[in-house]
Amino acid sequence: MTIQNSLTIETARLRAAHIDTPALDAGILLAEILHTDKAGLILHGPDSIPEGDNENFRSRINRRLAGEPVAYILGRKEFRGLDFTVSPDVLVPRPDTETLVEAALQELDSVQSGADSNSRISVLDLCTGSGAIAIALKNECPGLEAWASDISGAALSIARANCARLLHDNAVHFIQADLFQPFQNPSSPNAAFPKQFTLIVSNPPYIPSAEIGGLAKEVRMEPSLALDGGRDGLDLIRRIAREAGHYLKDNGILLMEADPRQMDAIRGILLDNGFREPRLYKDLAGLDRVISGTLNRESK
Ligand code: GLN
């Protein structure tokens, strides 16, 4: 059996099962086994494939047929040029969420040019999952102080490991928390907590509960904790908007990812909770995917 034949057979199995991108998925899964890339697969197409590699490839295709996302099969996903470890304990970082990082950098730029240069820029990433947003921000903006929290201990282990491997151990401070809960307690043993942040970012769960069952099979393999946003999908977004003001500096910024159809409602939620000038950012499909607001507190 040649590499090309094996690839053709397995691609056809994915296509027959109506997988969206059969050739792409099969190519990625085989290239990794053979320690090569797409060009290498073509170049070595006529070579024969070792029996064990072919079996391994076939079993990966079987996992894909059962609905597992390619990222879980590989155990990693690229985000903002970094190679993140992922598992079914965390949401797979999406290209659309790169929009959130881009927006955060733009917002930080505008804060930095207005603020006195002595105050350290600090960022908190809520519902961090694999740590992708916080780690990418710290990587691209090394001067900032980065904090991240998640309610899931299993997710945090992955986030911490990603941070240690991609940056260094303490590049981002990770804490297990239900949103702001550890920051509320002034007698907290961790005195190093910043009381107030320059920027709070989040890609919270925002899918309405009733829509979870209708999601693509591979999305349903992701943790529902990272997807299910309650009846209208806005449970976490409402809580974040309500509480964020206590943990932001004057003119601090809250930036969240959500579904484009939720943006009007979130604009209202932000205005009701003391944020001004809600701003929208578009994802790769040209849809409003990220919304930000500036905390409307008079300077002291
Ligand atoms: N963008 C994800 C999806 O549509 C949802 C992620 C989330 O709820 N934060 O699959």
The 10s digit of each residue's pLDDT in 112-153 is 766 555 578 999 999 999 999 999 999 999 999 999 999 999
Give the residue whose CA is nearest to atom 2 of ligand 1.
Answer: 227
Counting residues of the chain whose pLDDT is more than 90, the rounded percentage is 87
Q: What is the pLDDT of residue 300?
A: 39
Domain co-membership, 100 together with 238: yes
Q: How many helices (H) and strands (E) does the chain have?
A: 13, 9
Domain co-membership, 109 together with 196: yes
Mean pLDDT of 74-85: 97
Q: Which residue shows structure tokens 């890339």?
A: 37
74: in domain: no
- Is a pLDDT exceeding 50 seen at residue 278? yes
pLDDT, tens digit, for every residue of 202-257? 999 999 999 999 999 999 999 999 999 999 999 999 999 999 999 999 899 999 99
Query: Using a CB cutoff of 8 Å and minimum separation of 24, what contacts does 77-81 make?
Result: 77/130, 79/132, 79/136, 80/132, 80/136, 80/139, 80/140
Q: What is the CATH number of the domain that holds 235?
A: 3.40.50.150
Give the residue whose CA is nearest to atom 10 of ligand 1.
Answer: 219
Give the residue whose CA is nearest to atom 5 of ligand 1.
Answer: 227
User: Into how many domains does the chain fold?
Assistant: 2
131: in domain: yes
Domain co-membership, 120 together with 186: yes
Domain co-membership, 278 together with 132: yes
191: in domain: yes
Domain co-membership, 106 together with 247: yes
Counting residues of the chain whose pLDDT is more than 70, the rounded percentage is 93
Cα 205 to ligand 1 centroid, rounded to whole Å:
7
80: in domain: no
Q: Which residue shows structure tokens 């929208």?
A: 280
Domain co-membership, 37 together with 174: no
As a residue count, the chain comes to 300
The domain boundary residue, chosen from 34, 66, 98: 66
State yes or no: 72 annotated in a binding site. no
- Is a pLDDT exceeding 60 seen at residue 27? yes
pTM for the model: 0.92
- Is a pLDDT exceeding 50 seen at residue 163? yes
Domain co-membership, 10 together with 118: no
227: in domain: yes
Cα 207 to ligand 1 centroid, rounded to whole Å:
7
User: Structural domain of residue 9, as residue ranges?
Assistant: 3-66
Non-local CB neighbours of 10 within 8 Å, separated by 6+ positions: 26, 30, 57, 58, 61
Q: What are phi and psi of 259, to 5 degrees?
A: -75, 140
Ligand 1 atom at minimal distance to the Cα of residue 233: 8
Domain co-membership, 205 together with 57: no
State the first-to-last Cα distance of the chain, in angstroms, to the nearest integer. 74
* The one-letter amino acid at 93: P
CA–CA dist 75, 286 (Å, integer)? 29
